[in-house]
Amino acid sequence: MEWLTSIRTAINFIETHLEEPICAQDVADRVYLSPFFLQKGFSLMTGYGIGEYIRNRRLYQAAMELRGGTEKVIDIALRYGYETPESFTKAFTRFHGATPSQVRGGAAVNVFLPLTIQISIQGGNQMDYKITPMFPFKVIGFQKVFDSETAYEQIPRYWDEICEKYASRVYAGGEPESPYEKALVDNCIGEYGVCIDDIGSGRFRYLIAGKYAGGEVPEGMVVYEFPRGDWAVFNCIGPIPESLQNLNTQIFRNWLPGNPEYELCGNATVEWYDCVNGEKHDPDYHSAIWIPVKRKDEGKKA
């Protein structure tokens, strides 16, 4: 399914199922996309996470029903997924700035209408990228699970945590003393940041990783193998994480929508960091984003 069509279909699906217990996984299944890619693209194109969008639409619809009828608050709360009047009132008041009873009495509400996706493509296919075929390869790294809606803020903190705990001493020139420090040095851990979508429910695995050179895998670390395939490699120049996050936004807003040749495939993406030249806060620091893709005509040739 074409990318913009997928986002529009996702919104339509949400609108017709607001009174049902749907989640990001259900929406992704409807549009045949990885939940990770859908969550990321939806957020970058609309400014809302899928869960946040569903919650806001339900609270707005609930407000309209309170204003226009006499139905009990508990019945409206249950219809829109809240188990108690208290939990509904708390969420409702936080969103609208007024309680359900105040809105029923005429208080103003926070208007949240269905989104309409209208995009203007400006130079989307002129970005600095190349399509690169890659053989299967393995990475090894430290792993943590993140929520798609908060990952942008939390992942940089995870890098700081791992660097302080395992890398600061060896980066300063010290010899590896623990299995983790040895694995970090032997496999150049920190060259890759890997997002793997195989959990569901809006959550994904993130690895601070390096190319696996063989040998011991310390307890708590993981090895992940990428299959053979084509990757879109987007180069990035600028300080981390701002420049890489900006590039990620451009890919999903400008490059993917309406791309005549390529579409997403697979369930993992890679951030590449130059571990040899420069510091990550330098204005000319080099990094990249790798995204697995396939030609749109592959299915027709099969």
228 contacts 134 by C-beta, under 8 angstroms: yes
Question: For residue 293, is pLDDT > 70?
Answer: yes
Residue 116 lies in a domain: no
Residues 10-61: pLDDT tens digits? 999 999 999 999 988 899 889 888 777 888 888 878 888 888 899 999 999 9
Residue among 183, 147, 181 nearest 164 (CA): 181
Q: At 92, is the pLDDT very low, low, confident or very high (cuts 50, 70, 90)?
A: very high
266: left (phi over 0), alpha (psi -120 to 50) or beta: left
Res 118: pLDDT: 57
Q: Which percentage of the chain shows pLDDT scores above 90?
A: 42
Alpha-carbon dihedral sign for residues 75, 76, 78, 79: positive
Average pLDDT, the chain: 86
- In angstroms, the CA 35 to CA 195 distance is 12
Residue bearing the bigger pLDDT, 127 or 184: 184
Residues 50 and 176 in one domain: no
Residues 157 and 263 in one domain: yes
pTM for the whole thing? 0.71
Q: Last residue of a domain, which of 71, 104, 137?
A: 104
Residues 151 and 291 in one domain: yes
Bridge-based pairing of strands 192-200 and 268-273 is antiparallel
Residues 229-239: pLDDT tens digits? 899 999 998 88
Q: Last residue of a domain, which of 104, 138, 160?
A: 104
**CB-based contacts of 55, cutoff 8 Å, min separation 6:** 91, 95
Q: What is the 3-state secondary structure (H, E, C) of 223-237?
A: EEEECCEEEEEEEEE
Q: Domain span at residue 96? A: 3-104
Using DSSP, state whether 269 is helix, strand or coil. strand
Bridge-based pairing of strands 192-200 and 137-147 is unpaired
